[in-house]
Amino acid sequence: MSLKVSSSITTKSIFFIFAVSITLIFGFIYYPFNKTVEASVSLKPKNQEIISLGKIVYDKNCASCHGVNLEGQKDWMSRLPDGLMPAPPHNETGHTWHHSDKYLFMITKYGIEDIIGQKYPNNMPAYKDILTDKEVIAVLSYIKSTWPNKVKKIHDQINDRENKQY
Ligand code: HEC
């Protein structure tokens, strides 16, 4: 009798340990894998196929706020009456090119609040449930492809500097 009880406890605890291990193993495999995808984000402003897809994504999802020609909203540096900021241009007159590939990807996918980690009411939608990672990379690659060579080069250096920190 006592043997039976202890053996059923053993079976239960073995099952429990097994379940925990599986969860941990999958957690450890999945978590870094997931993060690696984002750490290795790299825009492809010279790849014609990606840029063409990016333009379609841009016209459909971004142009209404950031402008058909990436010019941004009127008076984009002044707050709107509701206290929020208008959409900035994505051409070289804005500050999109001040940010690394990875940062632009994260902002577009998760939204500004998620990235800065604090409340910050703003009009920029998060695209994680709307666009695939490929589409986010494509739209940002399209944006980068429109910048003058000089700006593209500075942007490459911003990426190089950030990648060296890891
Ligand atoms: C509903 C309007 C709206 C749409 C649609 C929109 N944005 Fe924005 N976006 C904004 C606003 C407003 C900001 C600035 C928010 C702030 O700083 O308060 C912004 C900021 C950004 C920034 C940060 C720029 C910087 O220099 O810090 C990026 C990158 C960006 N948007 C990309 C996109 C992309 C890519 C799309 C389309 C997939 C898109 N946005 C669609 C309104 C929009």
68, 40, 129, 143: CA torsion to nearest 10: 0
Which DSSP category does 91 fall into?
S
- Looking at residue 23, what is its pLDDT? 64
Which comes out higher in pLDDT, residue 50 or 16? 50
Q: Give the pLDDT of residue 5.
A: 56
Q: Is 63 in the pocket of ligand 1 (CB under 6 A)?
A: no
Which tokens hold the place of 121?
């009411």
Please tell me the pTM assigned to this model. 0.82
Atom of ligand 1 nearest to the CA of 95: 26
